[in-house]
Amino acid sequence: MTSNKRERELARAKYERQQERRATEAERRRRRQRVIAIVTVSVLVVGALVWAGISLRPDDTVADAPTDAATPTIATERPVLACDEPGTPRADTLSWDTAPDGEPQAGSITLATNCGDIVIDVLADAAPRTVASAQFLVNEGFYDSTTCHRLTTEGIYVLQCGDPAGNGTGGPGYSLPDENLPSSEGVNYPAGTVAMANAGQGTAGSQFFLVYEDTTLPPGYTVWGNVTQGLDVVQAIAQAGVSGGATDGAPSQPVFIEKATFSAG
């Protein structure tokens, strides 16, 4: 083999080794770029989900609440939910044939629950029959040792209470006429509203619901109060969800009204 031929072969072999090294290095660079791209996309996706979660918290409420009724101030920071064990529900034995005919008083009703106090300012002028009934039931101990049996977390945002039977069937034995019904337009049951549950026109009794996030409903539910303290408690209960992961049913965190009291003022 001549010297020139040998040199050409050595040069070709060197060139092939260089090409192999370059190909290997290029593949490594491509792998690193793929890994970096995957990590970057993951970070962006997680960031987007976190932002969406923050944007859709129940305390980010709609600002266009009706102006014909006082709208409570809603807490923007929700406390950690710390509830005591619920007590024993009382027997469903209190009942009356007719609704009370007394005059309602201005003031507030405090629901002392195992998760914290909820204070309701009553609308005595706007819903006199309903408020008179609520005050009568409070004074008779009707709401004491009862559970809030229903939480709804999709479509409408309410916690329903006031049923001594604990299943949506209980009542005081009498029915009330509808009063102070809101407009059918827009957000007609804003966060903080307290309204009567019913089974149709003129069938309200003792059950009521606390609206914890702006809600639109058919305008058939008497509005008789506003939550002025403890709305953050209701919101935290709602955040804990419905038992079994549903969107309507018993709250995962049991809510027990230990005692209800009325304060005139």
255 lies in a domain?
Answer: yes
Residues 37, 133 within the same domain: no
pLDDT tens per residue across all 265 residues of the chain: 555 555 555 555 555 555 565 556 656 656 655 544 443 434 333 333 332 332 222 333 222 333 333 444 444 455 578 999 999 999 999 999 999 998 999 999 999 999 999 999 999 999 999 999 999 999 999 999 999 999 999 999 999 999 999 999 999 999 999 999 999 999 999 999 999 999 999 999 999 999 999 999 999 999 999 999 999 999 999 999 999 999 999 999 999 999 999 999 8
Quick one: 15 and 124 in the same domain? Answer: no
Considering the domain architecture, whether residues 123 and 219 belong to the same structural domain is answered as yes
Residues 6+ apart with CB under 8 A from 224: 122, 123, 126, 127, 130, 131, 134, 179, 180, 194, 195, 196, 208
Considering the domain architecture, whether residues 133 and 12 belong to the same structural domain is answered as no
Burial (CB count within 10 angstroms: exposed 0-12, middle 13-18, buried 19+), residue 187: buried
* 166 and 50 assigned to the same domain: no
Q: Determine, yes or no, domain membership for 73.
A: no
Q: Which helix (H) or strand (E) holds 226?
A: strand 223-229
Domain co-membership, 159 together with 245: yes
Q: Are residues 143 and 46 in the same domain?
A: no
The reply to whether 22 falls in a domain is yes
Radius of gyration of the chain (CA): 31
pLDDT of residue 81: 86
Query: What's the start-to-end Cα distance of the chain, in Å?
Result: 116
CA 247 to chain centre: 10
How many domains would you assign to the chain? 2
Q: Within a 10 A sphere around the Cβ of 236, how many other Cβ atoms? A: 22
In a shared domain, residues 48 and 113: no
One domain, residues 215 and 116: yes
Q: Give the 3-state secondary structure of residue 139.
A: helix
122 neighbors 106 (Cβ within 8 angstroms):
yes
Burial class (CB in 10 A: 0-12, 13-18, 19+), 55: exposed
> Is residue 88 included in any domain, yes or no?
no
Rounded CA separation 72/119 (Å)? 11
Full domain range(s) for residue 111? 107-264
Helix (H, G, I), strand (E, B) or coil at 150: strand
Give a yes or no: residue 92 inside a domain.
Answer: no
Are residues 239 and 123 located together in one domain of the fold? yes
Q: CA nearest 181: which of 220, 131, 217?
A: 220
User: Both 39 and 117 in a single domain?
Assistant: no
Q: Which two tokens stand for residue 90?
A: 């009382």
Phi, psi of 27 (to 5 degrees): -65, -40
Residue that terminates a domain, selected from 56, 80, 95: 56
In a domain, 65, yes or no: no
- Residue 218 belongs to a domain with what CATH number? 2.40.100.10
Out of 56, 78, 98, pick the residue that ends a domain.
56
Q: Is residue 19 part of a domain?
A: yes
Based on the domain organization, do 120 and 182 belong to the same domain?
yes
Tell me how crowded residue 210 is: count the other CB atoms within 10 A of its CB: 28
Please say whether the dihedral angle defined by the alpha carbons of residues 128, 134, 136 and 139, taken in this order, is positive or negative: negative
Q: Does residue 101 lie in a domain region? A: no
